[in-house]
Amino acid sequence: MKLKGRVVAVVVLAAGVACSHAPSQERPVYDFRKSAIAVEPGRKTEGAFPSADSGNDVAYRVAIPAKGSLLASATATNPAAQLGIEIYTGGKAPLAKGDAAKPVETRQLSRGTYWVVVKNPRAVETAFTFLALFKPADPDLHGAPYKARAGARELPADNGHVSDRVDYSGMTRTNYWRIDTPAEGDLKISFDAEGANLVAEIEGPQGEPARIDPAAGYEKKDLPAGDYYVKVYAVGPGDAGPYRLSTEFAVDPCRNGGAACVREGAEELKLPQDSKVGEVDFKRAMQRHYYKASLKEKGRLTVAFNVVEPRGSKVEALFLRPPEGAERIIGTGTKEIDNPGDYYIEVIAPASGDYAKYSLQTTWQPANFVSGDVVELGRNPCLLTVQAGTRQGVRAGAPCTIVVGSNPAAIDSCVVDQAFPNLCKVRPLGAGCRIPSQNVRVQISQ
């Protein structure tokens, strides 16, 4: 009996040993690095639990191209599931972990490969959507030169059409465009964004940027002339897409130029002599100024035009003969008037950026006149004694002009103060007694 008991004991022991070496039905340890699915940042990936590899873990492999942060999230279709996120590098401990329903973000990482594990601790059956985003340390790393005002490309103020693409995670986050408005006017900008979370703003010389609404666009009336910039950018990680900008610009070059900015409102010249000072400025919407000389007889009109400031200005003056003739006035010139009527002088700032302060002097010499030499120049009072009088048809109050030598251009206008049989006293109206003492003649209108 003792022998039999020993035999039984041995059999039982053998059975126990045999049981301890039986194959296990448990799932092998999940190696998330070997099982990870490669994904691109910014692209959504669909997954499901239970996982074919681990049951309650799904791993993804993400490569980031530059220094920055990695954000990861997973959205479950089953509300009962409470998924988690863990982000790893080469170590055993996660760099970051948290609730997968909101993005889990790492600290600043170097360029390289990282692993994200979506965890299902409650083992709830569910599908989910996984998204990894790259948040670069410099979202404009590859955006030069358009990422700053200094490198802005040109966007014409009127009928301008441009397009491009911005990408936050692609490190081309920002585009700048420059609009040069040639004068004060009304500006419209349309912004068509095809990507997600793209913003366009207009920046002026002063003041806060203004948003350009993708639906309504941007409109500003009476916008001062100058340089404006349109900034288009992607708001955050993953935001990217193409866009289009277009412009309309309405300018009235006489918005601030007053009535005389058009020919119909021309300022009357008071002849025989008049002196004017004025200003024209293209950008300030005061591009032109017109003057009108109503000439009722034949004669000569002497015009002197001078740009006071700035030097080198392209502002010019034109003498307009009816019906359509135009002659540029350079310095001082005399215009022969053969047909009485209305004549115009146009002072114009031809193009954007042109402006000037100027002076304009006009002197009228009728064709019918009595000419007499100056025989005496009185200084106090300033009176010229002229060798022509009532016997030659001179009368007191008659207008006259003063010329020197054979030059037909008048140097001043005057009026007959007193008339005697063969002499008269003439009073200069403009230059006073700053008149040469020799070879001076006076032409007295009849």
With DSSP H G I counted as helix, E B as strand and the rest as coil, what are the percentages for the chain, rounded to 5? 10, 50, 40
User: Average pLDDT of 278-291?
Assistant: 95
- Structural domain span for residue 411: 369-445
pLDDT tier at 271, thresholds 50, 70, 90: confident
CA–CA distance, 393 with 296 (Å, rounded to integer)? 20
- Is 240 a domain residue? yes
Mean pLDDT of 72-85: 96
Note whether 322 and 360 are within 8 A (CB).
no
Tokens encoding 413? 């206008």
The residue behind tokens 């200005």 is: 313
The answer for residues whose C-beta is within 8 angstroms of residue 12's C-beta and 6 or more apart is none
In a domain, 114, yes or no: yes
Question: Residue 107 falls within a domain, yes or no?
Answer: yes
For residue 440, what pLDDT is reported?
92
One domain, residues 286 and 346: yes
131 lies in the same domain as 178: no
Whether 363 is in a domain gets the answer no
Task: Please tell me the least confidently modeled range out of 23-37, 143-157, 395-409.
Answer: 23-37
CATH number of the domain that 56 lies in? 2.60.120.380
155 and 242 fall within a common domain = yes
pLDDT at 276 over 60: yes
Nearest to 149, CA basis, from 75, 51, 228:
228
The verdict on 350 and 389 lying in the same domain is no
Q: Do β-strands 104-105 and 96-99 pair in parallel, antiparallel, or remain unpaired?
A: unpaired
Q: Is the pLDDT of residue 251 over 60?
A: yes
Whether residues 423 and 384 share a domain: the answer is yes
How many domains, the chain? Answer: 4
Answer yes or no: is 5 within a domain. no
Comparing CA positions, the residue from 304, 310, 263 lying closest to residue 287 is 263
Does residue 161 sit in helix, strand or coil?
strand
Distance CA(80)–CA(236), nearest Å, equals 30
- In order, the DSSP letters of 194-254 are -STTEEEEEE-SSS--EE-BTTTBEEEEEEPSEEEEEEEEE-STT-EEEEEEEEEEEE-TT
pLDDT > 70 fraction of the chain, expressed in percent and rounded: 93
> What DSSP string describes 241-280?
EEEEEEEEEEE-TTTTS-GGGSGGGPEEP-SSEEEEEEEE
Measured between alpha carbons, how far is 171 from 142 in angstroms, rounded to an integer? Answer: 5
Among 322, 355, 388, the domain boundary falls at 355
Q: What is the mean pLDDT of residues 264-286?
A: 93
Do 158 and 248 form a contact (C-beta atoms < 8 A)?
Answer: yes
Same domain, 102 and 155: no
- What does the alpha-carbon distance between residue 15 and residue 353 come to, in Å, rounded to a whole number? 104
CA–CA distance, 176 with 150 (Å, rounded to integer): 9
Q: Which pLDDT belongs to residue 207?
A: 66
Instruction: Tally Cβ neighbours within 10 Å of residue 324.
Output: 6
Of the residues 251, 269, 299, the one at which a domain ends: 251
Domain for residue 426, yes or no? yes
Q: 251, 282, 317: which is the final residue of a domain?
A: 251
Residues 110, 136: Cα–Cα separation, whole Å: 10
Residue 198 to residue 195: CA distance in whole angstroms: 6
State CA 433 to chain mean position distance.
Answer: 54
- With a pLDDT cut of 90, the percent of the chain lying above it is 72
Q: Is 349 within the bounds of a domain?
A: yes
Shared domain for 156 and 90, answered yes or no, is no
Name the H helices within 21-121. Answer: 32-35
Tell whether 285 is covered by a domain: yes
- What is the CB neighbour count within 10 angstroms for residue 406? 7
Asked whether residue 226 falls in the same domain as residue 175, the answer is yes
**Range with top average pLDDT, 204-213, 337-346, 373-382:** 337-346
pLDDT at 394 (0 to 100): 94
pLDDT band at 343 (very low <50, low <70, confident <90, very high): very high
- Rounded to 10 degrees, what is the CA torsion of 421, 423, 429, 435? 170
- How much is the mean pLDDT over the chain? 90
Same domain? 396 vs 377: yes
Shared domain check, 402 and 435: yes
Could you tell me which residue, 24 or 262, shows the higher pLDDT? 262
Q: Is the pLDDT of residue 84 over 50?
A: yes
Selection from 132, 348, 146 nearest residue 238 by Cα: 132
Amino acid in position 13: L
The domain that holds 417 is classified in CATH as: 2.40.10.340
CA neighbours within 13 Å on the CB side: how many for 69? 15
How far apart CA 226 and CA 292 sit, in angstroms, is 33
